Amino acid sequence: MHKTRLSKRPGDPETAIRRNLPRNVTGMLLFELTWGLGIPFGLYVSMVPAYLNAMGTSKSLMGFVQSFWTVLIPLQLIGSHFFGRADRVRAVIVLYMSASGIRLLYDVLAVFVPGIWTPGAFAGFFIFACASYVGLLVVGQSIYMGVLTDNIPRRRRGWVFGLRTLFMGLGGILTGLGTSWVLHRWSSPLNFRISFMICDTLWTLSSLCLFLLLDRPARAARRRTAGFMLSLRGKLGILLGNPNYRIFLFFHMLNSVALTVATFIVPYAQERLGVPDSRMTWLSVIYLASSAAFGSLMGRLADKAGYRSVGAVQSFLLVAFFLIAVTSRSFTAVCIGYVLYSTVNMTGAFMLVNMSVELCPTLGGTDLTALGGMLLLPFVAVSSPLAGMIIDRTGSYPTVFSIGATIAMIAFFGFAFLVREPRTGKLYELKQIAVG
């Protein structure tokens, strides 16, 4: 009787992935755990707008700073082309440590040498530090997403994603009380600066955990064409020529726009509900706890039912979030809504790269992350500043939240009825029709 054995050939990618999986998952989880320790002290979507609000900046400027994550997305193309082929792990470590290190420099100067700053310089240097921080992280994230995708078996990616969010959440829960004490111990805005300094120190050290990873790039990730522009044109042609990808990306874009609008729940809680700084840290803890609790469920849903179902659930949660935001009259209601927002925000990049890999398997995960983000840019980049401008001129947060709910509702129907994926065997096809 013949027995079926796994191939031992060096060229079999699945064999190498499975052999390295325990060590790689250990490195990923250790990185997420230690990175999570710093998140309550400096979570971008909650602590940055709270700090800017404490310094009295306009909502338009606040929206502009929040839009860095989309405005700087074209940098991912540089990262994927020049650093996304070989020695990817080392590139990610350097980029992540540089990102947190630049903001750490601002933190140290702002805390220990406050006399050199004018009020405008405090805000200006912080915005520059945030732009540098986001820009470097954006480049690093596109490469890291490729590392994750290439080194985890396709049917285990949702499971590993759930573990990653769980460990990150546990790290944040462990330091949540410490963040609350820091924000209560010092007066505003010094308390935020000390909190950011702790966060960026932890993040700089956390990046060293990635040295544990053994990277095996997929064949598509190792391939490079001669020129940057020629390569970009060819990859965009593949994506835009795929009707299934175009439909998916449109409705994913709507969810992404709704997410940028949702960040204004933080200044709303400070201004309309009078929430003190010491309680704002609980939004960071909620962000991590909900990610830990629901990230594994979303990952399992992706493995079992597909990413189309994940997109529909994301849209539904966003609609529920905006309805809560419009009617909220207490910080408790804001916290409930923030659970829903956090679940969607933590699964955004996971959704984009993995659905893209399934729809366009000829391109690597690093390239798909960068190209997908660039295609979203024209729509997502303007949504946050525009929402801030509406609030500055009308003072109406409910108006902005209602717009966000409408956008998310359209996305829900799109994912439920129009988006297709390969595992269902039902894809849109372009066929030539003979005329005459």
Residue for token pair 């997410």: 259
Helices 119-150 and 348-359: angle between axes, nearest 10 degrees: 40
Task: Kindly state the average pLDDT of the residues 44-52.
Answer: 86
Report the alpha-carbon distance of residue 158 to residue 163 in Å, rounded: 9
Cβ–Cβ < 8 Å for 306, 427: no
In this model, does residue 8 exceed pLDDT 70? no
Report the alpha-carbon distance of residue 117 to residue 355 in Å, rounded: 46
- Residue 25: closest CA among 252, 251, 214, 219: 214
Q: For residue range 325-380, list pLDDT tens digits in order.
A: 999 889 999 999 999 999 998 888 788 888 888 888 887 766 777 778 778 877 87
In this model, does residue 3 exceed pLDDT 60? no
Report the alpha-carbon distance of residue 102 to residue 160 in Å, rounded: 30
Cβ–Cβ < 8 Å for 266, 283: yes
Q: Cβ–Cβ contacts within 10 Å for residue 18, how many?
A: 13
* pLDDT value at residue 96: 95
- Distance in Å from the first CA to the final CA of the chain: 60
- Residue 161: closest CA among 364, 310, 285: 310
Task: Kindly state the average pLDDT of the residues 94-108.
Answer: 94
**One-letter identity of residue 149:** T
Average confidence score pLDDT of the chain: 84
Largest Cα separation within the chain, whole Å, is: 82
- Residue 85: closest CA among 235, 228, 216, 221: 221
Does 189 sit behind a cis peptide bond, omega within 30 degrees of 0 on the bond before it?
yes
pTM assigned to the model: 0.72
Of the listed ranges 97-101, 174-178, 320-324, the least confidently predicted one is: 174-178
Task: Kindly state the average pLDDT of the residues 227-235.
Answer: 73
Residue 172 has phi, psi (to 5 degrees) of -70, -35
Report the alpha-carbon distance of residue 336 to residue 175 in Å, rounded: 21
In this model, does residue 384 exceed pLDDT 50? yes
* pLDDT value at residue 85: 65
Interior CA angle at 232 toward 228 and 235, to 5°? Answer: 140
- Residue 45: closest CA among 330, 265, 206, 348: 265
Report the alpha-carbon distance of residue 345 to residue 324 in Å, rounded: 17
**DSSP calls for 107-142:** HHHHHH-GGG--HHHHHHHHHHHHHHHHHHHHHHHH
One of 2.60.120.10, 1.20.1250.20, 3.40.50.300, 3.50.50.60 is the CATH number of 18-423, namely 1.20.1250.20
The tokens describing 351, both together, are 């959704």
